[in-house]
Amino acid sequence: MASDGRVFLFALKILTSYHLNQNEWKGRNMSNKKIYAFDVDDTLEISKGPVPVGELRRLRLEGHVVGLCGNWAVFTNAVPGWENLVSFLGQVGTSKEEFLRQIKKYCKANEYILVGNDPAVFGGSNDRGAASAAGWRFIQEQNFANGER
């Protein structure tokens, strides 16, 4: 019985979050909607990177879609209310390149941007290569932290 109550409360939280998120989008100009995917390790501040998590919220408030393409378990454990901040978690059981291709195929936007690592400069994953192969624009994590959008 107690677990049924917890499931109900969790479902209520999801519905409330959905309603609040829908209201958040009302009146926003969606004509320049971009989808941003963020690597986590060596990219976000919660995992030795230069990008503050607050920047993801700023992008959402500007009307863009924000998600993760990397070590999402670190993010979900470190960021309270993560479910209200990101629209997708990935990649699970597939390559980063294929995950980005699937998003681009099924989620419409004016531009697709991966923020992450270029191993020639810093970081352990070849996010630049995955972005290029999937047809996404790439922004190196430090450049994003310095204001490049």
In this structure, the answer to whether residues 26 and 38 fall within a common structural domain is: no
pLDDT value for 27: 53
CATH of the domain at 111: 3.40.50.1000
Cβ-based neighbours of 61, under 8 Å, separated by 6 or more: 24
Cβ-based neighbours of 62, under 8 Å, separated by 6 or more: 28
d(CA 18, CA 113): 24
In this structure, the answer to whether residues 67 and 138 fall within a common structural domain is: yes
pLDDT value for 122: 80
Q: Please write the tens of the pLDDT for every residue from 30-74.
A: 579 999 999 999 999 999 999 999 999 999 999 999 999 999 999
In this structure, the answer to whether residues 7 and 59 fall within a common structural domain is: no
Cβ-based neighbours of 113, under 8 Å, separated by 6 or more: 34, 35, 36, 37, 136, 137, 138, 139
Number of domains in the chain: 2
In this structure, the answer to whether residues 105 and 75 fall within a common structural domain is: yes
With a cut of 60, say whether residue 25 has pLDDT above it: no
Tokens representing residue 23 in the block: 């209201």
Tokens representing residue 30 in the block: 């969606």
* Per-residue confidence band for 9, with pLDDT thresholds at 50, 70 and 90: very low
pLDDT value for 96: 97
Residue (of 116, 112, 113, 111) closest to 142 by Cα position: 116
In this structure, the answer to whether residues 77 and 10 fall within a common structural domain is: no
In this structure, the answer to whether residues 46 and 116 fall within a common structural domain is: yes
In this structure, the answer to whether residues 26 and 43 fall within a common structural domain is: no
Range of the domain at 13: 1-30
pTM, two decimals, is 0.80
